[in-house]
Structure 1
Amino acid sequence: MVTKPERIFDRVREWQGLVAFATGVRQGPGGAGLGVVSGRRRQGKSFLLQALTEATGGLYFAATEATEAESLRLFTEALTRYSREIVSIPFRDWNDAIAYLFRAFRGRPVPVVIDEFPFLSKVSPSLPSIIQRELGPGGSGGESDARLVLCGSAMSVMGGLLSGNAPLRGRAGLELVVQPFRYRDAAQFWGIDDPRLAVLVHAIVGGTPAYRYEFTQGDAPEGIADFDPWVIRTVLNPQKPLFREARYLLAEETDIRDPALYHSVLAAIASGNTTNGGIANYIGRKSDQITHPLNVLEDSALIAREPDLFRAGRVRYRIVEPLITFYQAVMRRRWAELEIHRAERAWSSLRQTFLAQVVGPHFEALCRSFAVESGEALYGDFPAEVGSGVVNDPAGRCQIEIDVAVLDAEDHGRPRRILSLGEVKWGETMGHHHVERLARARDLLALKGYDTRETVLACYGGSGFTEELRASAADDRRILLVDPERLYRPD
């Protein structure tokens, strides 16, 4: 096993998967292998793959936005630097280049990384088909030991490489999506010990590694009292790269051709309009007119579609990248002031909006992540599905929103078990009335045929709990209290 360099934080599983693919002997028929690595920008994919090629003696080639002729020239130069052998006959096209590539790597498994692959496939649409042909019977890959890794950040493009009737479908021996750091790992990466501060910071920068050093020059809040000054001197500072990053994330997606429409859709979601109808009403369009933008944003991994666990056919949309939520809910409204360095005044009036529209929903998402990672010690069994939902209360003429619903696996022939129903509050001390509302939802769901006999009623409180509720939870194992300290405490 090739040792992971110390400069790479975490990424243990990703490193193990890459090394196993890049250096392992293929089972069955030999020949070259294909891997696909994707993930949103700034997650450290290139950093990881460069380290892999350095550690294993492989080739790393980073494509750029260029014509096919120039890209071939740059690729030839990379091959020459690596092999120290001059390519005698210039490549006419990618047919020559890919065939030469596979023939050049024989003797031992070696990773060959082509980063920013979407730049190449955009100007050379036949490139995936060429790779497929050379990997197939009679192709140059049959006697090659190359482990070709295609990497890119354009999620819609990378996701399409192996889907449906795509030429490379069924050819990949590695499909790795490099995700942002999980919230506990992100807090460790930022060097933050205070759980409440960790939530606030994560609500802005999430788990994106590049924002820690490249985009803030290593500036991290020193404590909860330094959070507001940190926001002003980093993300709201026009002189910092983080200031315009959210705009660039949208502009970099190749399928987005009407930025104004997509910004409005994201602004609607960031403002709490998370249903199809709510989004359409916010931006002044009909519901069927926003289906395509929502699909594009979902394919680009900028938003996620989350089903209502208790109402079939109902879905809500959530922005995946916290920085985009922060930009849409906070920065976009006062952009002109922020550009002329009036962040202090703008932030003082926008901080409450930040807490309500950014931190509150983000804390809910963190609590759902906590539920996914928690075992049977908390809920009596391992969660099979975690999400949110709405329970109709006809007698009370209201709807009860369940922020964290934890369900057991479906077992045909018996009622589905609800392991837990939870409510999340960031800025409110939680008390018995929150538990009573959850108990009412539990009883209503029991009438609908769910098994709620052992359902845990969970309160996720960012501002703590009343003493009475703490006393009740101490006596009743079916009442669970989770504060930020518990959220960040390792299991």
Structure 2
Amino acid sequence: MPLLGKPAEIFDRDVEWAELARFVADDRPGATLGVVSGRRRQGKTLLLYQLAQASGGFYFGATEATSTESLRRLGEALGAYSGAPGPVHLPDWAAAVDALLALGRDRPVTVVLDEFPYLVRAARDLPSIIQHALTPGRPERTGSRARLLLCGSALSFMGGLLAGSAPLRGRAGLELPVQPLDFRAAAAFWEIDDPLLAVRVFSVVGGTPAYRREYVQDDTPAGPDDFDAWIVRTVLNPARPLFREARYLLAEDPDLRDTALYHSVLAAVAEGNASRGGIAGYIGRKATDLQHPLTVLEDAGLLLREPDPLRSGRSSYRITEPLITFYQAVMRPAWTALEQRRGPDVWRRSQRRYASAVLGPRFEEIVRQWSLRFAEPELLGGHVAEVSAATLTDSDTRTRHELDLVAMGEPPSGDGPRPLLAIGEVKWGRRLGRADLQRLERIRAVLVRRPGFDASGARLLLASGHGFDDDLVDTADGRPDVVLVDPARLYRR
């Protein structure tokens, strides 16, 4: 069965579409299961609806409803899809799942249950019912070629569907996360050609497609000089949906019950408190009391814990969604003024805070993602396997060095040291010069002496949103181990 071509309505998402098309085109006998997850507003519904349309399949979008009402709505949808004279009677969920599998008796049929967590909230045993329906050797399964796709936005719930001792563990042939667009794809989606403007916009709205379409009605910055006005008329405008979106992101996840605590944790991270101890000190709790809220925020996809490659057992946290960082740093402290439509005044007073807490850290993350996904292996001396920020302590001088970027190569197959490909200094708000290069040279010398890593060929990467001094540019021109990165290079394809 040939793979389906991607509809023109879908921007980017080539990898996701190819995986879905391959899954539903499988012509082998036997019903199969796939799980699609991702935060809201990423375009999952559009992907799956278009997939069902293109393949002649069945799509059902669940809503918050009782089990009885959901069964009735599903029966009505099945009746309309199959051409029955009326709704299909579904006495319970076991009958409903068998009816869905029966759609694939004669051919491979795409069957989509979107917003699956809503159904499970009303029928807790639904995953177990699907597990039983997909039991190997069961006639309803072997006689069907239904390609059942379960989709949901509650990441903690969807992540648990196939984990540990969950009923559906081992049943799925596809587990597809739909992530936000990367910084390059986001710039193309917003139709922004200016690299400096692209970084500034991404630092606020990230790569969530819906934030351009539905949430600001295709209002994009007309150019660099329009950015401030665009922020005021969209993100800081109480009449626009984007204004309250960061609050709703926490309220929508059913596992985030104590929203005040979670907002405080996110505010702490937005203020630059990346360690558990720093977060605890900011919110006035013991570090041991934060295990649960940190885990819940990680499971919800709002926080990411990154191990420090240079300090065993140490890690730091960062907020994954740029809009939440912007809300915590700029909007939450001035919420009353913003509700009173004093957005221009709040934005004028927030410039320094925006630059230090929002734009600077997001630029660092963009550079790290560039080094991991887009930089040529020859540029960084090999294929980058992991990249993160790190802290190095020089035991000889008792000096602590913060590194914005540490790029590691693949772990060695034997007992040899792991290649450390690059270390970097990333600054949005100032030009970098020879002093910054000399600092990296000193740090590299410390790393070369450190066991467990091979830093002898480590590149020295300097990234700046404001460019580089002439003497640094001249030095880099004659040294292959020095890599200068500006916004234009980040977006150059």
Question: TM tier, shorter chain?
Answer: over 0.9
Deviations 1:289-319 (A, max 9, x none): 1110000000011110001110000010010
Q: CA deviation at 1:88?
A: 7.6
AA partner of residue 307 (structure 1) = P
Report if aligned partners of 1:391, 1:400 keep a CA contact under 8 Å in 2: yes
Q: Which residue of 2 aligns with 1:349?
A: 349
Report if aligned partners of 1:2, 1:56 keep a CA contact under 8 Å in 2: yes
AA partner of residue 444 (structure 1) = V
Q: Which residue of 2 aligns with 1:206?
A: 206
SS at match of 1:290: helix
Report if aligned partners of 2:420, 2:455 keep a CA contact under 8 Å in 1: yes
SS at match of 1:471: helix
Equivalent positions of 1:188-207 (< 5 A) are: 188-207=188-207
Equivalent positions of 1:192-341 (< 5 A) are: 192-341=192-341
- 374-383 or 47-56, larger mean C-alpha shift: 374-383
AA partner of residue 443 (structure 2) = A
Equivalent positions of 1:468-479 (< 5 A) are: 468-479=471-482
Report if aligned partners of 1:156, 1:299 keep a CA contact under 8 Å in 2: yes
Report if aligned partners of 1:400, 1:437 keep a CA contact under 8 Å in 2: no
Deviations 1:74-131 (A, max 9, x none): 1101101111115687322101111122123311111010000000111211101111
AA partner of residue 124 (structure 1) = A
Report if aligned partners of 2:79, 2:87 keep a CA contact under 8 Å in 1: no
> In 2, distance between residues paired with 1:296 and 1:435?
40
> In 2, distance between residues paired with 1:428 and 1:278?
26
Equivalent positions of 1:77-476 (< 5 A) are: 77-86=76-85, 90-136=89-135, 137-138=137-138, 140-373=140-373, 374-411=375-412, 412-449=414-451, 450-476=453-479
Q: CA deviation at 1:418?
A: 1.3
Specify every segment of 5 or more residues in structure 1 that has no aligned partner in the other structure, as ranges. none
> In 2, distance between residues paired with 1:94 and 1:299?
28
> In 1, distance between residues paired with 2:313 and 2:415?
23
- 409-418 or 219-228, larger mean C-alpha shift: 409-418
> In 2, distance between residues paired with 1:358 and 1:307?
22
Q: CA deviation at 1:393?
A: 2.6
Report if aligned partners of 1:192, 1:198 keep a CA contact under 8 Å in 2: yes
> In 2, distance between residues paired with 1:110 and 1:417?
48
Q: CA deviation at 1:413?
A: 2.9
> In 2, distance between residues paired with 1:314 and 1:340?
43
> In 2, distance between residues paired with 1:410 and 1:14?
28
Q: CA deviation at 1:273?
A: 0.5
> Aligned to 1:15, which of 11, 17, 20?
17
AA partner of residue 448 (structure 2) = A
Q: Which residue of 1 aligns with 2:67?
A: 68
Report if aligned partners of 2:79, 2:88 keep a CA contact under 8 Å in 1: no
> In 2, distance between residues paired with 1:22 and 1:219?
36
AA partner of residue 250 (structure 2) = L
Q: CA deviation at 1:453?
A: 1.9
> In 1, distance between residues paired with 2:18 and 2:138?
31
AA partner of residue 394 (structure 2) = D
> In 1, distance between residues paired with 2:191 and 2:45?
23
Report if aligned partners of 1:38, 1:155 keep a CA contact under 8 Å in 2: yes
SS at match of 1:42: coil
In the TM superposition, structure 1's runs of 4+ consecutive aligned residues that sit over 4 Å from their partners are: 86-89
AA partner of residue 263 (structure 1) = H
> In 2, distance between residues paired with 1:106 and 1:150?
19
AA partner of residue 98 (structure 1) = V
- 477-486 or 390-399, larger mean C-alpha shift: 390-399
SS at match of 1:101: helix
SS at match of 2:350: helix
Residue identity (%): 52
Deviations 1:191-236 (A, max 9, x none): 0001010000000110000001110000000111100000000000
Report if aligned partners of 1:457, 1:479 keep a CA contact under 8 Å in 2: yes
Deviations 1:340-362 (A, max 9, x none): 11000010001110011001110
AA partner of residue 37 (structure 1) = V
Q: CA deviation at 1:452?
A: 2.0
Report if aligned partners of 2:75, 2:88 keep a CA contact under 8 Å in 1: no
Deviations 1:352-409 (A, max 9, x none): 1001100111011101100101232211211122112111134544311111111122
TM-score normalised by structure 1 residue count:
0.97
> In 2, distance between residues paired with 1:128 and 1:120?
10
> In 2, distance between residues paired with 1:89 and 1:154?
29
Report if aligned partners of 2:109, 2:146 keep a CA contact under 8 Å in 1: yes
Q: CA deviation at 1:475?
A: 0.7
> In 1, distance between residues paired with 2:408 and 2:53?
45
* Total equivalences in the alignment: 487
Q: 1:88 to 1:438 in 2, by over 3 A?
A: closer
> Aligned to 1:487, which of 481, 487, 490?
490
Deviations 1:433-490 (A, max 9, x none): 1111111111111121232221110101111000000000001111110000001101
> In 2, distance between residues paired with 1:222 and 1:309?
41
> In 1, distance between residues paired with 2:88 and 2:21?
33
Report if aligned partners of 2:280, 2:290 keep a CA contact under 8 Å in 1: yes
AA partner of residue 118 (structure 2) = F
TM-score normalised by structure 2 residue count:
0.97
Q: 1:88 to 1:335 in 2, by over 3 A?
A: closer
